[in-house]
Copies of this chain bind each other. A is one copy, B any other.
């Protein structure tokens, strides 16, 4: 699994990966989306554009708006109408990041200092609210109640997922299925909505809309499992966030849950102390990694992600093939080799 993964990385480094190809193909459209993002960050309350710009302009791959554009393009739908929705999706995502960083007391985000450390928690909470409400303003402009329903449902599911994550944090009894419920809500719901709105905007069949939704859920799950796994293996420079953050916060993610499944009594006491009671000392992260290696938890996590990625691909079977469908297929493999 890990070897496969490394191979994939090598290939991807040599030539363009599906994410870059999609970005190139949809470059003109993404420029329109970026223009809308900048336009909607405007406010005469100067703190708003300053903070929003700090976060949004820091980059990130814009995978969610890209999914909306790619899905619309795949169905030969109305691209112009998709711009507001793609921007809205990125605003929801960014609002979530801002609030997450306050909740997690993060230090780093997208390879730079987390916004809450520079602008304060108060500004992060309120500018998050601003971006969230702006996203609804943009959605209303789509003029489609179906799309408003999809995106407002997604927003409610995300918020529930975040609260659920808060409830499972420091609870070492958290099962894999509870973990999946968390990531399916906090991450995959927005991937799903990003994909589904492209199909709905293109007035496709119920089955095709549902397929895109399911593709998004499974892609999002794979994406998040990899993200959580990287927190135990990646180097900080690649990930753009601190390695070991989840461990420090006592978050119950796949690598830890798998290690706990086969833990002996000594190991259980270790996890109870470090994650359950958040009582950690200097070498604990190294010990955690040694237990994770011992129980092959990284491999198990990557396998789980791999299953979701494969299932994501299958969802696209009912959709007529074209270059966008192929790229979305490839994308589900690419999230497994995430170094973006």
Chain A interface (Cβ < 8 Å from any Cβ of B): 43, 45-48, 96, 99, 102-103, 121-123, 125-130, 132-134, 136-137, 139-140, 143, 145, 148-149, 152-153, 155-156, 158-160, 162-164, 166-167
A122 touches B103 (CB 8 A): yes
Which B residues are CB-close (under 8 A) to A164?
45
Copies in the complex: 2
Complex partner residue of A152 from B45, B122, B140, B166, CB under 8 angstroms: B140
Distance between Cα atoms of A45 and B152 in the complex (Å): 18
A123 touches B153 (CB 8 A): no
B152 touches A136 (CB 8 A): yes
Distance between Cα atoms of A123 and B143 in the complex (Å): 33
Complex partner residue of A99 from B126, B145, B149, CB under 8 angstroms: B126
Known: A132-B132, A143-B145, A145-B140. A126 touches B166 (CB 8 A): yes
Closest approach, in angstroms, between the C-beta of A156 and any C-beta of chain B?
4
Distance between Cα atoms of A143 and B136 in the complex (Å): 15
Distance between Cα atoms of A327 and B159 in the complex (Å): 39
Distance between Cα atoms of A99 and B132 in the complex (Å): 13
Distance between Cα atoms of A124 and B145 in the complex (Å): 29
B163 touches A127 (CB 8 A): yes
Nearest to A164 among chain B residues (CB) is B45
Closest approach, in angstroms, between the C-beta of A45 and any C-beta of chain B?
5
Nearest to A142 among chain B residues (CB) is B145
Closest approach, in angstroms, between the C-beta of A146 and any C-beta of chain B?
9
Known pairs A127-B163, A133-B152, A133-B158. 12 more at Cβ < 8 A?
Answer: A46-B167, A47-B163, A102-B121, A102-B125, A103-B125, A123-B163, A128-B129, A129-B132, A133-B159, A137-B156, A140-B148, A140-B152
Distance between Cα atoms of A46 and B43 in the complex (Å): 37
Closest approach, in angstroms, between the C-beta of A102 and any C-beta of chain B?
6
Known: A46-B167, A47-B167, A122-B166. A159 touches B130 (CB 8 A): yes
Closest approach, in angstroms, between the C-beta of A44 and any C-beta of chain B?
8
Which B residues are CB-close (under 8 A) to A96?
129
Distance between Cα atoms of A46 and B164 in the complex (Å): 8
